[in-house]
Amino acid sequence: MKSVLIVDDNELYLGIIEQIVKLAGYKVHCASNGKSALEILKKCRIPVMITDFNMPGMNGIQLAGMAKQLFPETLIVMATGDLSAEVCSLATQAGIAKVLKKPLDARIILKILEATHWG
């Protein structure tokens, strides 16, 4: 089954995205912070990670940089309320494939997942 890791410190938001992705037929792993997300990535090979940008301890860009070092093939999508040029540039440098505006549009998430190569 195709697996997706969703990372967000807002439990309500995390649960909503989890349900949308599950209903579309994907296996979903959830983490509420970067440290937990890295632990999940090390245990399970997960080809796609959707992460929030603004989280305590480790933000989404820092998480993406560490995840890409461990698993360069992972597709990373980041959600943020701050679509500034600076955030987008840092995201690209960290290996993030797509930066989306929060609140996320379920249709966009599902289109990205459908277009993903699940080798």
Q: What is the pLDDT of residues 16-65, one digit of tens each?
A: 999 999 999 999 999 999 999 999 999 998 999 999 999 999 999 999 99
pTM for the model: 0.96
pLDDT at 45: 86
**CATH number, position 53:** 3.40.50.2300
Q: What is the mean pLDDT of residues 70-93?
A: 95
Whole-angstrom Cα distance, residue 51 to residue 80?
9
Q: How many structural domains is the chain composed of?
A: 1
40 in helix, strand or coil? helix
Residue numbers of the domain that contains 16: 3-115
Q: Check pLDDT > 80 for residue 70.
A: yes
Q: In this model, does residue 105 exceed pLDDT 90?
A: yes
